[in-house]
A and B are shown apart, each in its own frame.
Chain A
Amino acid sequence: MPREIELFGFFLPTLLPMFLFAFGLQWLLDGLLGSLGVYGRVWHPALFRFSLFVCIFGALGLALYS
């Protein structure tokens, strides 16, 4: 996968669309976990969600830079 993508003659890091994709994925997963009631059993739901996002984005990033 290319690490930079071209847009109107400018180079953007591929991480940027990946970030947005991770965000969408997180939004979906968040809704699913919320409706399953997982957040009721977690100490710090916000921290859990943030960590989840870091995991998703990190995994996607690894696919790019491994």
Chain B
Amino acid sequence: MSAIAPHAVAVAPWRSALREWPASEGRAWIFVAKTIVAAMLALWIAFRIGLDSPRTAMLTVFIVAQPQTGLVLAKGFYRIAGTLVGCAATLILLSLFAQQRELFLGALALWIGLCTAGATRARNFRAYGFVLAGYTACLIGLPATQHPELSFAIAVTRVSEVLLGIFCAGVVSDLLLPQTLGSSLIVTVRGSYRDFARFVVHALQGRLDHASIERAHDGFLAQVIAFEAQRDAAYFESPETRLRSGRLRLLNADFMTATTGIHLLHQFTERLRRRHQQSTIDRLTPLYAALADVLLPADGQLPAMAAEARPLLARLAGFLERLPTLIAEAGSGLDEAAPSDRLDFDCDDNLLQRFAEDLQAYTESYISLISPGDRLPRPAPPYVAHGDAITAALAGLRATAVLLVVSAFWIVTAWPSGIGAVIIACTLCCLFAALPAPVAAARGLAIGFGAGLVASFTCGLLVLPQLDGFALLVAGMAPFIMVGAWLIANPRTAGIGAGYCLMFGSTIGLDNVSRYDPALLLNEGFAALLGALIATAAFALIVPAGTRRLRLHLTRSLRRQVLLACFEPETGLRHRFENSTRDLLGQLLAGADRGSGEDRALLARAMAVLEAGRAVIDLRDAATIGTLRIDSRSHLNGAVRAVARLFQKPAARRRQQALAGIDSAGARIDQALDASDHDAEERRALNRGRTALHLLRGLLLDDASYAALSSLETSLETPSSPQGAADAT
């Protein structure tokens, strides 16, 4: 017995490690193996049917290589679309300016600028399509300037190689040990529902402090944005996911609304606490506790799956029915209190009721995922991204400038490998324009380029000449590809891996007639490296994306989102306002300096903006009531305009004017409520308008919230005082 025991002990950890391997490191290695198989398949087919440059097919496999199938298919789809559009554009440009290289380059620069601007405005893989349309034009157009008669053949070759590469990558990714986005989406949805429910329970029970609520909110926002990207890509994966796509979009929108709801509730209570309104808070606490009890069943288990959320939905509906009585109970005796106390109480009830409704909607759309054949509970609104026109225009200008400068250098110096440098510089300008930290990304890629050049030199000049036949070619190249694919599989080194694979694939010199030309390899490699450096320099010099001025502009736009709520047409405005504000906040947070507390200042500002925008929309709803007296209506609209002016540019005088406008509008609504010529529906809208006005008043009077609207600019304008941003929150 004693001889067996140590043996058993030694085997157990091995077994468990072996069982866990596919979920941890295994994923990366499966991806590595799949990439090699796909690349070699593409290469073999390209050799077999005699395409002009087989390495492009292999390169395409490297470029679309992603661990999950949906990402490969989405990237592949937009790559094909972009390639076709870029091809058509180049052929048109070539037919117009074939005789004049300078004119053609000018027109090409404009096209690249347009595509880059488009890529900056679009999101996710759609942006990638724009990028492709831009740089495919370079890839085909530039070689064609030297051989205009071959331009159509170059275009056809390019398209068929790209198609082949994407086809191989897609088929291999989907068939061999598939790792689908659809299944990881289900896990994400379940996790975020449960986490959010737990968070809400803790927040309502008052167990979380302000800092941890802020942190959670930051996490929720990141979830919303990442989820939209995944949903978008999973659309290409399988018909099941396609069928659920609208539902998932609805779920994400509802999640977003619910996170805002809980934060506004928290914010309002916090403000009451700052004003020492303890008696009002004491009245509200039992209401919060009641909602927390509804969410948390007796056994303390939160729903882990959509089906388990059904009882919760019934309990929520019951709670909403009981809520008016609960409110009346909690508010008994308030009639003797000051009118402002009554308003505080009403305001908070209103927020609580709305939040419970949001939660109900979120649960409903979560449950609806079970039966994708049924009708949607509500129509799913589209995801509204915030596209900034100025950022896009600047990115476009930068790409145009880079193309013009590098190609001028190429023409003036008659540099034989100049085309390579132009192509790489343009590609990177397109590719990185939409990233929050393009300089870092370009640096990573440049490192990858360097490593890839070394690998390609070793493999192409030392290893491959010794080998003969396709099987040995595969064996010789596999270790080098392995390194690149492994780098791509790890999120931290993905940029370096992409650069490595790009450089390795494009300089390895796999053509139908194998060539042994160290000088050519070095020339091409150095041209690409130089192109990458020029692009990096352009991002650092020509309107740097992280520049204070641009950030200042974006933080201002965040504040001016309220103007959208003030003046845009009302249909679907709530969702549009909410979604684009959040998207903009996400863009700002991605580049925020977390050490100096800038992220917290941004979050505080976004919350103030969301609060004000929601209130303004309520107010506008109240102003559209048909039976409202005309002069009252003009007072309400006057208040909206005064708030808009304040958010356009905060100033002490505008603050006073906005407060005065709010007070006079409040008096008008009180008047209208006292008169009895409105039906129940209209009274409801008027009441909402009244609480909205009170909410706005509280927001503007609260110095901390008001400071969130103006302090960020001062801290960005004087970069030496990072304290300013931290003090604002």
Residues of A that sit less than 8 Å from B by CB: 8, 10, 12, 30-31, 33-35, 39, 44-47, 49-50
Q: List residues 209-247 of chain B with CB under 8 A from any CB of chain A.
A: 238-240, 242-243
Q: List residues 346-385 of chain B with CB under 8 A from any CB of chain A.
A: 373
Across-interface contacts of B239 in A (CB, < 8 A): 30-31, 33-35, 39
A34 near B156: Cβ-Cβ < 8 Å: no
Residue B171 CB within 8 A of the other chain: yes
B242 near A47: Cβ-Cβ < 8 Å: no
B152 near A10: Cβ-Cβ < 8 Å: yes
How far, in angstroms, from A47 to B238 measured CA to CA in the complex?
A: 12
B243 near A47: Cβ-Cβ < 8 Å: no
Q: A10-B152, A10-B156 are in contact. Are A39 and B240 (CB under 8 A)?
A: yes
Across-interface contacts of A46 in B (CB, < 8 A): 69, 174-175, 178, 238
How far, in angstroms, from A10 to B171 measured CA to CA in the complex?
A: 29
8 Å CB contact of B242 from A31, A44, A45, A49:
A31
Across-interface contacts of A47 in B (CB, < 8 A): 175
Q: Known A-B contacts: A8-B152, A47-B175, A50-B175. Give 6 more (CB < 8 A).
A: A10-B156, A30-B239, A46-B69, A46-B175, A49-B238, A50-B174
B242 near A34: Cβ-Cβ < 8 Å: yes
B171 near A50: Cβ-Cβ < 8 Å: yes
Interface residues of chain B: helix, strand, loop or mixed (majority): helix
How far, in angstroms, from A33 to B175 measured CA to CA in the complex?
A: 18
B175 near A45: Cβ-Cβ < 8 Å: no
Residue of A nearest to B178 (CB): A46
Contact code string B154-193 (vs A, CB < 8 Å = 1, else 0) = 0010000000000000010011001000000000000000
Some 7 contacts from A to B, beta carbons below 8 A apart, are A10-B152, A10-B156, A35-B243, A35-B373, A39-B239, A39-B240, A44-B175
How far, in angstroms, from A39 to B238 measured CA to CA in the complex?
A: 9
How far, in angstroms, from A45 to B178 measured CA to CA in the complex?
A: 10
Across-interface contacts of B243 in A (CB, < 8 A): 34-35
Across-interface contacts of A45 in B (CB, < 8 A): 238
A31 → chain B, closest Cβ, in Å?
5
Across-interface contacts of B242 in A (CB, < 8 A): 31, 34
Residue of B nearest to A9 (CB): B152
Residue of A nearest to B155 (CB): A10
* For the complex of A and B, 10 pairs with smallest distance between CB atoms: A34-B239, A46-B174, A31-B239, A30-B239, A46-B178, A46-B175, A34-B240, A47-B175, A10-B152, A50-B175
A34 near B175: Cβ-Cβ < 8 Å: no
A55 → chain B, closest Cβ, in Å?
15
How far, in angstroms, from A34 to B236 measured CA to CA in the complex?
A: 13
A42 → chain B, closest Cβ, in Å?
11
A34 near B238: Cβ-Cβ < 8 Å: yes
Across-interface contacts of B240 in A (CB, < 8 A): 34, 39
A13 → chain B, closest Cβ, in Å?
10
How far, in angstroms, from A47 to B153 measured CA to CA in the complex?
A: 34
Across-interface contacts of B174 in A (CB, < 8 A): 46, 49-50
Residue of B nearest to A47 (CB): B175
Residue of A nearest to B159 (CB): A16
Q: List residues 103-151 of chain B with CB under 8 A from any CB of chain A.
A: none
B710 → chain A, closest Cβ, in Å?
52
Residue of A nearest to B173 (CB): A46
Across-interface contacts of B152 in A (CB, < 8 A): 8, 10
Across-interface contacts of A49 in B (CB, < 8 A): 174, 238
How far, in angstroms, from A45 to B240 measured CA to CA in the complex?
A: 11
A11 → chain B, closest Cβ, in Å?
10
Across-interface contacts of A34 in B (CB, < 8 A): 238-240, 242-243
How far, in angstroms, from A39 to B539 measured CA to CA in the complex?
A: 48
How far, in angstroms, from A31 to B242 measured CA to CA in the complex?
A: 8
How far, in angstroms, from A32 to B153 measured CA to CA in the complex?
A: 39
Across-interface contacts of A30 in B (CB, < 8 A): 239
Residue of A nearest to B156 (CB): A10
How far, in angstroms, from A10 to B239 measured CA to CA in the complex?
A: 37
Across-interface contacts of A12 in B (CB, < 8 A): 156
Across-interface contacts of A50 in B (CB, < 8 A): 171, 174-175
How far, in angstroms, from A49 to B173 measured CA to CA in the complex?
A: 13
How far, in angstroms, from A10 to B178 measured CA to CA in the complex?
A: 39
How far, in angstroms, from A45 to B183 measured CA to CA in the complex?
A: 13
How far, in angstroms, from A50 to B167 measured CA to CA in the complex?
A: 11
Q: Which of A10, A34, A44 has the most chain B CB atoms inside 10 A of its CB?
A: A34
Residue of A nearest to B174 (CB): A46
Contact code string B262-280 (vs A, CB < 8 Å = 1, else 0) = 0000000000000000000
Contact code string B388-424 (vs A, CB < 8 Å = 1, else 0) = 0000000000000000000000000000000000000
Residue of B nearest to A34 (CB): B239
